[in-house]
């Protein structure tokens, strides 16, 4: 909503009777955490508004503020992100954020994790059966397919990261870390960082680690945690685009105490001694139903074997009325701490595989259950209210992005129907993908001189001044813009046409126009032994447009087929400039020996047009011949006196042939009588 300021009352300290000191602590922690997770937020002013007569609440907030002002100030090196305050959503489930990453620690079995990837320490032969650590457990649960895939890889160098499928595990990938010897905190951090970088390359959104290093490598739990936290912080500074959640799953619960200590130290907090979530919940219920005083109460020790996922609450009361009152109070507290929300949006039906992975990552990060029902455009969220609000915000952002991307895709398709940008590869021009085409066209309309695009992981600079594309190595290629709304377009292989030239001559070089040069020279040399001195392409868009319209009409009448031929036309050097600008004109005086009609003559073989009477030497001794596009269509044998092709039938004199020839079959000479029927595409200068 782009708000810049917000005010909060001391929520929960009134009727709900939450401990004032804990409310104050939570307020400060959450504001700081939000600020660190969202460094570019527009929210700059957050105020806690306290009732002036509620002296106890005012005192609690003042005490918390003074604690923070007197606390240790952590100074980070430039460009280094700091960790947010640690949150313990339930006993031994710790969470902190650093930059775009969420780092979680929890007790459990790594083989049961449902993150997209699991990372484990391996050896240079990738033999998970060695030892009794996480690798052996993963092999036992994941199945033989993991071992079979590992055997496909040879011995691995220290520091290598090998990615395999995860067999029957809930994860998709296994990242096998081969540690560097000798093992130090520095070398282990390098391995963990490389693992995270490889996961980012594979576009993984969530990954779980065991307490790496605490097994056969002999690292202490706190040392392993510090190494992991250091790697996560360094990785965060690299601004990953895909990984959102990094979990550390600890099988030996007694290690969590040391890990907790490490997490609180890096976030600048003191290790807490107050009750965990279940104790806070129980205390809140007790106070709501009148059991327990308002002063300090002792903390009931946690039972290590208790299942943190389930709470069995037994209520004892002196009468049915008190029992009912207590039950309702419990229900209210549960309702306050558990919620269900529905998201309905027509975009939900378009959620793809990667989008579902992102939602699953949010489930893991916030301990929220998300049920996606594409067929009815609905997502149901269940969990704690504050978690649901966070997840809803992220899902709405995801849906908005999908909707925006879909609109951009449709817009790009619409643009591509009329406008198409192309880049040159070899002798041909290739179309840009539709989304890039739309981006380039937008920049072109904004009259920008340059722009940058990203294609296939590479960056390219587009220059609209000289119509080129330049890659990161400085290599350039031509680009062109085709506007189908302006009628028929020139061939794709033409070079960019200078804006100030109606006719442009491009000299073909074997080095820059290899395929095109070879095509023309082979057609010439097939029947003519004269040496080629120069090949030039004639680019005359207006003249070509007339020819293209004529070809389109002929194709509509005769059907697509052999209406067009590449034929030769010899001429004197003095005529070349006129032909380049105006095309072949049958009224020009250079036409001789009109044996088959008073039109423009073309030969199927280059040696015929190379005769001296058709292509005489110029002042320099050079001779000239065109390789032209000619619309011969349907033809018949010509006669010297005709000014146009004869009629096909005497009963309909308007239905005429398209051209005439010297003989049928196997004609060698073709004559056309309409100037738009031929286009002088290549000028060949020869000896």
The tens digit of pLDDT for each residue in 202-241 reads 999 999 999 887 876 677 888 889 899 999 999 998 889 8
What percent of the chain stands above pLDDT 90? Answer: 34
Mean pLDDT of the region 177-197: 87
For the chain, the 3-state helix, strand and coil shares in percent, each to the nearest 5, are 35, 25, 40
Average pLDDT over residues 481-492: 74
Q: Where in the chain is CATH 3.90.228.10?
A: 495-686
Position 272 confidence tier, pLDDT thresholds 50, 70, 90:
low
* CA 165 to chain centroid: 23
Q: How confident is the model at residue 430 (pLDDT cuts 50, 70, 90)?
A: confident
Cα torsion 641, 644, 648, 654: sign: negative
Structure tokens at 577: 């400039």
Q: What is the pLDDT of residues 577-617, one digit of tens each?
A: 999 998 987 765 445 567 898 889 999 999 999 999 899 99
Q: Where are the alpha helices (DSSP H) in 526-583?
A: 541-558, 576-582
CATH of domain 1-71: 3.40.220.10
Q: Which has more pLDDT, 178 or 389?
A: 178
Q: Is 680 left (phi over 0), alpha (psi -120 to 50) or beta?
A: beta
Q: Does domain 87-266 have CATH number 3.10.350.10?
A: no
Over the stretch 76-110, which tens digit does the pLDDT of each residue have? Answer: 343 456 788 888 877 888 999 888 899 999 999 99
- Statement: 495-686 belongs to CATH 3.40.640.10: no
Q: Is the pLDDT of residue 634 over 60?
A: yes
Measured CA to CA, the distance from residue 268 to residue 365 in angstroms comes to 22
* Residue 15 banded pLDDT, cuts 50, 70, 90: low
pLDDT given at position 561? 66
The better pLDDT of the pair 6, 335 is held by: 6
Counting residues of the chain whose pLDDT is more than 70, the rounded percentage is: 88
* pLDDT at res. 246: 95
Average pLDDT over residues 320-324: 85
> So what's the pLDDT on residue 335?
67
Q: Where are the alpha helices (DSSP H) in 157-220?
A: 185-201
pLDDT in tens, 641-668: 888 899 988 888 888 999 999 999 999 9
What stretch(es) of the chain map to CATH 3.40.220.10? 1-71, 87-266
């Amino acid at each position: 909503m782009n708000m810049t300021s917000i005010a909060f009352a001391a929520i929960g300290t009134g009727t709900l009777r939450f401990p004032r000191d804990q409310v104050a602590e939570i307020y400060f922690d959450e504001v700081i955490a939000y600020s660190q997770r969202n460094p570019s937020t527009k929210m700059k002013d957050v105020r806690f508004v306290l009732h002036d007569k509620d002296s106890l609440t005012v005192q609690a907030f003042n005490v918390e503020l003074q604690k923070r002002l007197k606390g240790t100030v952590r100074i980070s090196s430039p460009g280094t992100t700091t960790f947010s305050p640690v949150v313990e959503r339930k006993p031994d489930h710790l969470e902190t954020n650093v930059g775009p990453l969420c780092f979680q620690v929890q007790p459990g079995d790594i083989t049961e994790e449902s993150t997209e990837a699991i990372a484990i320490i391996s050896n240079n032969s990738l033999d998970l059966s060695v030892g009794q650590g996480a690798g052996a457990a993963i092999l036992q649960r994941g199945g033989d397919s993991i071992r079979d895939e590992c055997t496909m890889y040879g011995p691995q160098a220290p520091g290598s990261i090998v990615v395999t499928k995860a067999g029957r595990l809930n994860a998709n990938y296994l990242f096998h870390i081969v540690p560097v010897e000798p093992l130090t905190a520095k070398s282990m951090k390098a391995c963990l960082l490389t693992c995270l970088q490889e996961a980012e390359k594979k576009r993984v959104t969530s990954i779980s680690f065991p307490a790496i290093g605490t097994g056969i490598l002999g690292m202490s739990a706190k040392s392993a945690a510090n190494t992991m936290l250091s790697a996560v912080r360094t990785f965060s500074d690299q601004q990953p685009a895909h990984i959102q959640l990094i979990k550390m799953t600890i099988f030996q619960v007694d290690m969590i105490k040391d890990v907790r200590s490490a997490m609180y130290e890096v976030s600048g907090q003191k290790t807490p001694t107050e009750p965990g979530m279940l104790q806070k919940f129980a205390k809140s219920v007790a106070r709501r139903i009148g059991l327990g005083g308002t002063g300090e109460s002792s903390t009931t020790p946690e039972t290590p074997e208790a299942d943190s996922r389930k709470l069995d609450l037994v209520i004892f009361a002196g009468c049915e009325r008190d029992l009912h009152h207590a039950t309702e109070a419990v229900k209210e507290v549960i309702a306050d701490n558990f919620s269900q929300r529905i998201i309905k949006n027509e975009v939900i039906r378009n959620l793809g595989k990667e989008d579902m992975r992102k939602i699953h990552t949010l489930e893991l990060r916030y301990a929220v259950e998300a049920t996606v029902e594409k067929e009815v455009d609905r997502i149901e969220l269940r969990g704690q209210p504050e978690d649901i609000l966070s997840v809803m915000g992220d899902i709405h952002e995801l849906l908005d992005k999908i909707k925006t991307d879909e609109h951009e895709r449709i817009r790009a398709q619409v643009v591509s129907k009329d406008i198409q940008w192309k880049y040159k590869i070899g002798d041909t021009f290739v179309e840009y993908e539709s989304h890039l085409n739309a981006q380039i066209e937008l920049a072109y309309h904004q009259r920008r001189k340059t722009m940058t695009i990203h294609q296939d992981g590479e960056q390219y600079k587009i220059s609209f001044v000289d119509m080129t594309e330049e890659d990161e190595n400085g290599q350039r290629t031509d680009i062109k813009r085709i506007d189908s709304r302006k009628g028929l377009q020139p061939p794709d292989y033409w070079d960019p046409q200078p804006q100030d030239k109606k006719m442009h001559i491009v000299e073909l070089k074997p080095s820059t126009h290899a395929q095109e040069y070879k095509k023309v020279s082979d057609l010439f040399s097939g029947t003519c032994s004269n040496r080629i001195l120069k090949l030039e392409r004639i680019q005359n868009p207006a003249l070509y447009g007339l020819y293209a319209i004529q070809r389109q009409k002929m194709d509509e009448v005769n059907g697509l087929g052999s209406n067009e031929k590449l034929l030769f036309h010899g001429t004197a050097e003095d005529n070349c400039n006129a032909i380049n600008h105006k095309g072949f004109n049958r009224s020009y005086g250079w036409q001789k020996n009109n044996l088959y009609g008073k039109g423009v003559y073309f030969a199927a073989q280059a040696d015929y047009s190379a005769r001296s009477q058709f292509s005489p030497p110029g002042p320099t001794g050079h001779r000239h011949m065109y390789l032209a596009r000619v619309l011969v269509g349907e033809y018949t044998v010509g006669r010297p006196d005709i000014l146009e092709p004869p009629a096909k039938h005497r009963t309909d004199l308007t239905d005429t042939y398209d051209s005439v020839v010297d003989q049928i079959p196997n004609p060698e000479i073709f004559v056309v009588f309409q100037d738009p029927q031929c286009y002088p595409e290549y000028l060949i200068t020869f000896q």
